[in-house]
Amino acid sequence: MAQTFTDTSSPSSPSPSSTLLASGVLSRVETQLNDAGNVQWPEPTLLEYLSDAQMQLYEYRPDLFLSSAQVMQTPVDITAATDELKVDKKSRLILVNLVCSFAFAESDDRQNLERSNAYKNDALALMFGKGR
């Protein structure tokens, strides 16, 4: 079974001083995928998955996109590792799990599909405060 990142704290509203860059998520994703050189999953592919993950998180938990001034921030497409995500740092593990889920889902291999499912389940548990 895939090793996934979990967190026992429940994500809440973003804190005012939190800034999360795409690179902060991608470095953890590359470690989880055992692909630090981006051989199997090139960075542009992972950035696309990260954009998708951010949109999925927004769909399930829009409250995680509230600024410290209680203004809703809309996710934008991520095109570079230096792009700032519109979500709190506490949501990083959710995004890592979602991106890994998307990466493994592109395979026809049963083991990778099971890994994809495990990462997605962990992301959902983290989204709703049920981390393992």
pLDDT in tens, 120-132: 999 999 999 875 4
Is 3 within the bounds of a domain? no
Q: Over pLDDT 70: what percentage of the chain? A: 85
Q: Whose CA is closest to 21, among 45, 48, 1, 50?
A: 50
Is 119 within the bounds of a domain? yes
Is 10 within the bounds of a domain? no
Given a cut of 50, whether residue 1 has pLDDT beyond it is no
Is 73 within the bounds of a domain? yes
Q: What is the per-residue pLDDT for 91?
A: 92
pLDDT in tens, 48-76: 999 999 999 999 999 999 888 888 998 98
pLDDT in tens, 71-115: 899 898 999 999 999 888 889 999 999 999 999 999 989 999 999
Is 102 within the bounds of a domain? yes
20 vs 23: CA distance, rounded Å: 8
Given a cut of 70, whether residue 16 has pLDDT beyond it is no
- Say if residues 95 and 56 touch (Cβ distance below 8 Å): no
Is 5 within the bounds of a domain? no
Per the listing, tokens 């599909």 go with 113
* Domain boundaries, position 46: 20-126
Is 60 within the bounds of a domain? yes
SS3 readout for the chain: CCCCCCCCCCCCCCCCCCCEEHHHHHHHHHHHCCCCCCCCCCHHHHHHHHHHHHHHHHHHCHHHHECCCCCECCCCCCCCCCCEECCCHHHHHHHHHHHHHHHHHCCCCHHHHHHHHHHHHHHHHHHCCCCC
Expressed in angstroms, the distance from the first to the final Cα of the chain is: 14
Which amino acid is present at 37?
G
For the chain, how many structural domains are there in total? 1
Q: What is the per-residue pLDDT for 112?
A: 95
Q: What is the per-residue pLDDT for 19?
A: 74
Is 70 within the bounds of a domain? yes
- Say if residues 83 and 12 touch (Cβ distance below 8 Å): no
Q: What is the per-residue pLDDT for 131?
A: 54
Q: What is the per-residue pLDDT for 18?
A: 60
